[in-house]
Amino acid sequence: MNGIRVFDSLEKAQAEGFAVFDRIPDGYLVRKDIGAHFALALVKLKPVREPSKN
């Protein structure tokens, strides 16, 4: 059985034909129309660290 595909950037998912379907807390749910149904995948984004204010 295959698992769900996880991308580390939205650009990589879009390059493979996926489009944004929904925003999730740690990234995006993306989907690709493959005819009779959709292929789903996740884009898991790393949190952006803000510079310290020292």
The encoded tokens of residue 8 equal: 């580390």
Query: Which pLDDT does position 2 carry in this prediction?
Result: 76
Question: Which residue would you say has higher pLDDT here, 1 or 41?
Answer: 41
pLDDT tens digits, one per residue of 2-43: 789 999 999 999 999 999 999 999 999 999 999 999 999 999
| Model confidence band, residue 54 (pLDDT cutoffs 50, 70, 90) | low
The whole model's pTM is what?
A: 0.79
Q: What is the dihedral of CA 32, 42, 19, 13, to 10 degrees?
A: -90
The encoded tokens of residue 26 equal: 């740690």
Which run of H or E residues covers position 15?
Answer: helix 10-15
